[in-house]
Amino acid sequence: MRGCLWTALQIKLQGIGADLTLKSLFSLPVSKNKLSFSVDLKGGQLDSFNQLFNVDLPPIGPYSLAGGFAITPQGYRIKDFLLQVGSSHL
């Protein structure tokens, strides 16, 4: 797009046995109706989230979740979604 200033953003978080990476390329000024990012979450066992989120997840793993997510004026969009827990793939 002509006249737009594009900015790349990458956030990496590590903790509770998980690695989370968020990536986005957006133009300034940021619009809440045109925002997209990719997510990559990997870890050992699901039950590592129990205390953090006050839930009771089973001790299975490893797990990974990846995909592209977007907010548009029409709603939310998920692209190239992949979920794996143990040997199960979605």
pLDDT over 70 percentage in the chain: 96
Q: What is the pLDDT of residues 65-74, one digit of tens each?
A: 999 999 888 8
Q: What is the pLDDT of residues 20-29, one digit of tens each?
A: 999 998 877 7
pLDDT exceeds 80 at position 8: yes
Question: Per the structure block, which two tokens stand in for 25?
Answer: 């390329």
63-67 contact pairs (CB < 8 A, 24+): 64/40, 65/39, 65/40, 65/41, 66/38, 66/39, 66/40, 66/41, 67/38, 67/39
Residue 68 pLDDT = 95
